[in-house]
């Protein structure tokens, strides 16, 4: 009889450890899903701003900052543009092309996060 009680206690302990491990795995999945959703929102913000700059007919601003409230907190979007130092193979300087850098900064659980994209924009004149 004593062995049966020990066996039941051992099975209950193993089951409890399994349930705790499963709970932690579910928590990790939820955290990963939240981080992925945050990054998708930030990538969409960067993509939208890039499309606005490319669709505009004027030279992009040298520096500009946007503070955007999302469902995941505040995202600071910084835009920097500068003439691209591009040359042809014969050392002819190419003018009218700007290198634009968009940087998004936000925090997840108090930890700073950031994403950045760079692209070229041609504006004559």
Give pLDDT tens digits for 29-46.
998 998 899 999 999 999
- The pTM assigned to this predicted structure is 0.76
* DSSP E strands, 46-96: 63-70, 73-83, 86-87, 93-94
Helix (H), strand (E) at residue 17: helix 2-55
> ∠49-70-34 over CA atoms, to 5°?
110
- Does the structure show a pLDDT above 80 at 124? no
CA separation (Å) from 93 to 83, 88, 99, 110? 11, 6, 15, 45
Residue 81: per-residue pLDDT:
96
Query: Cα separation of 96 and 101, whole Å?
Result: 16
Share of the chain above pLDDT 70, in %: 98
Mean pLDDT of the region 106-122: 93
Residue 72: per-residue pLDDT:
85
53-89 exposure pattern, b = at least 16 Cβ within 10 A, e = fewer: beeeeeebeeeeeeebeeebeebebebbbeebeeeee
């Amino acid at each position: 009889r004593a062995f049966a009680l020990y066996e039941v206690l051992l099975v209950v302990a193993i089951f409890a450890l399994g349930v705790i491990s499963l709970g932690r795995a579910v928590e990790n999945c939820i955290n990963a899903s939240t981080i992925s959703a945050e990054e998708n929102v930030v990538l969409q913000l960067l993509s939208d701003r890039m499309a606005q700059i490319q669709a505009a007919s004027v030279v992009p601003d040298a520096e500009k900052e946007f503070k955007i409230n999302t469902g995941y907190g505040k995202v600071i979007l910084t835009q920097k543009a500068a003439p691209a130092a591009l040359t042809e193979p014969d050392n002819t300087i190419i003018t009218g092309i700007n290198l634009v850098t968009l940087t998004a900064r936000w925090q997840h659980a108090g930890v700073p996060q950031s994403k950045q994209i760079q692209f070229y924009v041609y504006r004559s004149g």
